[in-house]
């Protein structure tokens, strides 16, 4: 009897079907694992930004840098965190961006790029800072030792490490579409996942800068106690952004409230 030297068509189709089935099972798992790895790197980056901030404060009587100043004759004017911390992070590109958001949203001509905004970095905003400054993290603006101005209540600023209470609730650096944010309890959530925040001094729009769905219903943040972790998007309204921030505001479930979340956020965990 002659031995068979090849597979039959049926056998080949069965093998192909098995491979296809295995791929359908493994590919999503591998994609999830890849995203988790990126989030781990992101959290590590944010931890390093805390260490830079801590080193700066140690050299400056525990005070935070001034940030944007509204006085042209002030020597610290335009002192963004990228400039204030430059001697401490030494322009290490690897910690500028979340691995999920490396490509800049604007090009060198100020033209918007394509793609979902939460997965884009800021940069090339020459009216604000130099072309060499870019990233996809933003700082909690209420931490700054800010100059007196008419835009915000100066009593809300933390200003120094020594003044901070509930440090594990006070965010430092976060996933963001802009370099800073000054959220208030009434700051609204994005109407849609890809909404671009108004970068002017509009209190209602400040949470949009950091409410970024980069990590499957969460984003990443470092805190003033030195910890770094993922934060639920709705949890952002439970963080202690400034000294008098009400963590039981209308966008929380405190006192039996039912916030009117936008459709794209409705299914995320409540706080």
The tens digit of pLDDT for each residue in 157-198 reads: 999 999 999 999 999 999 999 999 999 999 999 999 989 887
What confidence score (pLDDT) does residue 248 get? 96
When pLDDT is averaged across residues 133-140 and rounded to a whole number, the result is: 92
Pick the more confident residue, 21 or 84.
84
Q: Is the pLDDT of residue 145 over 70?
A: yes
- Average pLDDT value over all residues in the chain: 84
Is 0.75 surpassed by the pTM of this model?
yes
Q: How many whole angstroms separate alpha carbon 92 and alpha carbon 24? A: 38
Taking phi first (over 0 means left), then psi (-120 to 50 degrees means alpha), and beta for anything else, what does residue 21 get?
alpha
C-beta neighbour count of 182 within 10 angstroms: 22
Question: What are the tokens at 62?
Answer: 């525990």
Q: How far is it, in rounded angstroms, from Cα 138 to Cα 159?
A: 17
Given this model, what pLDDT does residue 225 score?
96
Residue 101, burial from CB neighbour count under 10 angstroms (0-12, 13-18, 19+): buried
The pLDDT tens digits of the residues spanning 96-113 come to 899 999 888 776 666 666
Q: What band does 269 get if pLDDT is binned at 50, 70 and 90?
A: very high
pLDDT value, residue 196: 86
Q: pLDDT tens digits for 208-244?
A: 999 999 998 999 999 999 999 999 999 999 999 999 9
Quick check: 125 pLDDT over 80? no
């Amino acid at each position: 009897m002659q031995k068979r030297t090849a597979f039959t068509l049926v056998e080949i189709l069965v093998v192909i079907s098995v491979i296809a089935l295995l791929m359908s099972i493994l590919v999503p798992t591998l994609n999830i694992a890849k995203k988790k790895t990126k989030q781990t790197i992101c959290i590590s980056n944010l931890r390093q930004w805390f260490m830079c901030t801590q080193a700066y404060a140690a050299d400056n009587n525990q005070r935070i840098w001034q940030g944007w100043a509204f006085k042209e004759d002030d020597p610290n004017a335009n002192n963004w965190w990228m400039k204030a911390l430059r001697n401490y992070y030494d322009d290490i590109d690897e910690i500028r961006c979340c691995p999920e958001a490396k490509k800049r949203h604007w090009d060198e001509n100020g033209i918007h790029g394509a793609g979902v905004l939460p997965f884009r970095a800021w940069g090339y905003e020459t009216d604000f800072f130099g072309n060499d400054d870019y990233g996809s993290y933003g700082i909690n603006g209420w931490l700054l030792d800010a100059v007196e101005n008419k835009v915000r209540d100066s009593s809300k600023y933390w200003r120094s490490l020594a003044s901070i209470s509930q440090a594990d609730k006070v965010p430092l650096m976060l996933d963001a579409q802009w370099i800073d944010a000054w959220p208030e309890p009434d700051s609204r959530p994005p109407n849609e996942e890809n909404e671009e925040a108004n970068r002017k001094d509009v209190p209602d729009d400040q949470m949009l800068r950091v409410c970024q769905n980069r990590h499957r219903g969460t984003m990443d943040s470092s805190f003033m106690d030195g910890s770094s972790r993922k934060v639920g998007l709705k949890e952002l309204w439970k963080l202690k952004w400034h000294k008098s921030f009400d963590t039981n505001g209308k966008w929380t479930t405190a006192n039996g409230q039912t916030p009117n979340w936008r459709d794209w956020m409705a299914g995320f965990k409540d706080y």
